[in-house]
Amino acid sequence: MTAPPVGRVVATELKPSTPHQFHFWTARESAIGIGAIVRVQEAGRTVYGVVTDGFAYSDLVTPMHAVLGADGDPVAAGQEPTARAEIRLFTAAVLRQMPEEPLQPVPLGPVWLADDADVLLALRMDSYTGGERSSGVPVGLYAAGGLESPVYLDCDFLLGPEAAHLNITGVSGLATKTSAVEFLLTSIFQTFPPHKGSVAALCFNVKGPDLCFLDRPASLSPEDCRIYARLGLRPEPFPDVHYYAPLRPDGVNLNTLRTNEALAANTEPLIWGLREVLDYAEVVLNRDDIDAKADAFIDFLAERVVGREYQDDMLRGRAFQVQSFADLEEFFRAIFDFMEVLGKGGEVWKTHHLATIRKVRNRLSNISTRSKGLVTDDGAANDLPWGSFADRSVHVVDVAGLDPLAQDLVFARIVSKLREHLERRDLGVDHVVVFVDELNKYAPGDGPETYVRKMLLDLSERGRYLGLVLFSAQQFRSQVQRRVVGNAGTGVYGRMDADELATPGYATLSPATKIKLATLPKGELMVRHPHFTQPIFVKFPRPPVLGGREGIERYPPSGDVSFTEAVARRLRSLDRRISPDSVYAAIDGRREEDVRRALSATRRERPVDPFTYFVACLGKRVAAEVVVPRRGIPAVRRGDDGYGA
């Protein structure tokens, strides 16, 4: 209250003060700008507002008078001895009135720039910060007129159960979206209150190396470090990060940019088998495929055949044990052989028509072909640690190099599994933040209904009750499924494209706010949050983790290596003492399928001595034998046999 006021509320018939908006003027040299939070105090009433628009004009009635005054000479116009009287007039939207009742027009009082305490009250952060059960999560610094104040989100409204989800919009190429999410996750992990339980994050890396270095520290500027200190955060990378990436079609090299050997320890292959895929067959089969007949047969396979012992004496004497695509192929082969034997009458097997069976077989085998590297034929899966997610752990699934079909499968299965486990409360954590970028691609506002879009919609509508929270990002919010972004309790906006700002979704923003959004510098955001009655601009520091571009420079991908070297690297990621030469010797002359199987088993088992275990899995080397042709029984010599010839 000791600082002098910076302005004064003015109201005219044309520009009246209302309970939701007011106007005030300031000196020409005022520090007030768009987004500044101000306080009006008059006669026992305090009103907080955020500046949404600004005007400057002089007492010049018409431009013609300026021309007249300068004799038509623009140079003379700048040399007038007296500067015209001019005004700096600002429009502010009311954030909060105290007392809140009776709700009245903003009084015509003096205006102050908000300080820390004012910002806390203006944004209603007093209700959830401070005290033993504080639920504030720092989102950035509000800065205006040389004052800086931390701004907090309420984690009850960010991670549920009151509201949940966060959506971030911004143009590509400024690293705002990814950086903001990385910073916000840092903030959540460091400040999520104990009484709210545990939290983990699962991020889908959908392009380039964006999220590939969350466990590596960034070199931050002193200014960034200062902002961290002001927000009460530590500029540290995530301590517990796990990377999952499918393999390349060769089955040993990882399909990710995080292949530098120094990063191998926490980078695992993501491999799924038949069981994992079949449950989500509808994701990978297109709409034409999933007719009622195909669906029925897939159900039959899922419920009666896959993962069970299936006995059908008509097909063969011993039971089928279908665990992998290879086993499934064997099962289909048996059906087709049986039908062939039946001949003309063999068109239906157990009420399923032969054409339907063939179609399902073709589509399923196509999955393992198109998603080679993610889906394995041999049934040995390597999955996320369902049931043992650790508190404050980050799981990054790198799908950047995957075929779109396989990406859909990964999204659908992982989110469904998260939901299942959270419903059963056996995931290992109480809340999971799922980060999905490129929502324009995965949940577009128009186009065909896809399983992934349905899944994202379901997640945004029902996830908060489970603790399953969607952090999503896209370039054009207007082109995302409205309910997906509409369900996001918190909205974050980076620099925006002017065309995007012209869409109806931004009609509530003032022209000045739109201009500010269109020119927002790196590291600044506009935040909407249920507690804030108006959007607020904040600045945030660089995330404490290496950015994609820097990470690639510091940890260049090793590129695809030979099969033997890839195997050696994978084993060395389990135990650095294993020498590549010993691995080369162990696998020399072995079939690649056997080596892959042994490697997969070793990774899955994680034994104390990985190399010994790996060699054991390879089995005994069988020496080649030269087959000596047997001497046959000599032919009966022709001769007289008494019968005559």
Partner 1 sequence: MQMSNLWSLRRRLAGRGLTPASAVPESSGGRTEEACIRPARLVEDTSLRCHPVGAAEAWPEPLAFLDGIQRLHLVAYAGAAPIYIAAIAAAVRERRGARLLTILEDRRRLAIARPRALAAAGDALDGYATLALPEDEPAHPVRDLTQASRALDRARGRLELDLGRRFRVAHDGWLLVDGSLAESPEWAADSRTLGVSKSHATLPFADADLDLYLRLPPGHRTSVFAPQTRSVAPVHAWALRLWEWEAKDLFHGLVRIEVSPANGVPATADLLSRRLLAERAPISTPDPRWDRLLYGIHSVEQYLHARAGALA
Write out the residues near partner 1 by the rule CB under 8 A: 59-62, 65-66, 68-70, 76-77, 79-85
Query: Closest separation between CB of residue 12 and partner 1, Å?
Result: 12
Q: To the nearest whole angstrom, how small is the minimum distance from the Cβ of residue 77 to partner 1?
A: 8
Helix (H) or strand (E) holding 55: strand 45-58
Query: Cβ(283)–Cβ(291) under 8 Å?
Result: no
Min separation Cβ 3 and partner 1, Å: 22
Nearer to partner 1, 82 or 219 (CB): 82
- The one-letter code for the residue type at 2 is T
Q: Which is nearer to partner 1, 2 or 79 (CB)?
A: 79
In whole angstroms, the minimum distance from the beta carbon of 15 to partner 1 comes to: 16
Considering the complex, state which of residue 79 and residue 219 has its C-beta at the smaller distance from partner 1. 79
CB distance 153 to 489 below 8 Å: no
Minimum Å gap between C-beta 65 and partner 1 is 4
CB 565 within 8 Å of CB 230? no
Q: Is 501 helix (H, G, I), strand (E, B) or coil?
A: helix
Write down the residue that tokens 């275990």 correspond to: 613
Say how far apart CA 164 and CA 146 lie, in whole Å: 33
What whole-number distance in Å separates Cα of residue 213 and Cα of residue 218?
9
**What gap in Å lies between CA 645 and CA 194, rounded to an integer?**
106
Q: Which is nearer to partner 1, 60 or 117 (CB)?
A: 60
Q: Which is nearer to partner 1, 61 or 507 (CB)?
A: 61
Q: Give the nearest distance from C-beta 67 to partner 1 in angstroms.
A: 10
Q: Give 70 or 405: the residue with its C-beta nearer to partner 1.
A: 70
Element (H, E) at 616: helix 610-618
Report in angstroms how near the CB of residue 107 gets to partner 1 at its nearest. 17
Question: Between helices 404-424 and 354-370, what is the axis angle to 10°?
Answer: 100
Q: How far is the CB of 60 from partner 1 (least distance, A)?
A: 7
What Rg do the C-alpha atoms of the chain give, in angstroms? 33
Task: Let me know: does 154 contact 161? Beta carbons within 8 Å.
Answer: no
Contacts of 233 (CB under 8 A, 6+ apart): 138, 186, 187, 190, 191
Task: Compute the least distance from the CB of residue 105 to partner 1, in Å.
Answer: 19
Q: What secondary structure does DSSP assign to 354-422, as a single string?
A: HHHHHHHHHHHHHHHHHTBTTB-SS---B---TT-PPTT-EEEEE-TTS-HHHHHHHHHHHHHHHHHHH
Which one, 80 or 299, has the nearer CB to partner 1?
80
Torsion angles phi and psi, residue 583, rounded to 5: -70, -45
CB of 76 to partner 1, least distance (A): 7
Residue closer to partner 1 (CB basis): 86 or 449: 86
Burial class (CB in 10 A: 0-12, 13-18, 19+), 410: buried
How do strand 348-349 and strand 241-245 relate by DSSP bridges? unpaired
Residue partners of 13: CB distance under 8 A and separation at least 6: none
CB of 110 to partner 1, least distance (A): 17
Structure tokens at 368: 């393992």
Angstrom distances, CA of residue 129 to CA of 135, 149, 197, 497, 580? 6, 13, 17, 34, 55
H or E element that contains 595: helix 592-605
Q: Which is nearer to partner 1, 69 or 232 (CB)?
A: 69
CB nearer partner 1, residue 2 or residue 82: 82
Residue 1 or 83 with smaller CB distance to partner 1: 83
Q: Provide the minimum distance between the beta carbon of 10 and partner 1 in the complex, in angstroms, as a whole number.
A: 11
| 69 vs 130 by CB, closer to partner 1 | 69
Written as one string, the DSSP assignment of 517-580 is HHTPPTTEEEEE-TT-SS-EEEE-PPPSB--HHHHHHHS-------HHHHHHHHHHHH-TT--H
Closer Cβ to partner 1, 71 or 132, answer by number: 71
As measured in angstroms, the least distance from the Cβ of 68 to partner 1 is: 6
Calpha distance 373→250 (Å, rounded): 7
In whole angstroms, the minimum distance from the beta carbon of 233 to partner 1 comes to: 45
Residue 560 CA to its chain's centroid (Å): 26
- CB 79, min distance to partner 1, A: 7
CB closer to partner 1 out of 80 and 340: 80
Q: Are strands 468-474 and 431-436 parallel, antiparallel or unpaired?
A: parallel
Nearer CB in complex with partner 1: 65/483: 65
In this structure, which amino acid lies at residue 212? C
> Are the CB atoms for 134 and 192 separated by under 8 Å?
no
Which secondary-structure segment (H or E) carries 231? helix 222-231
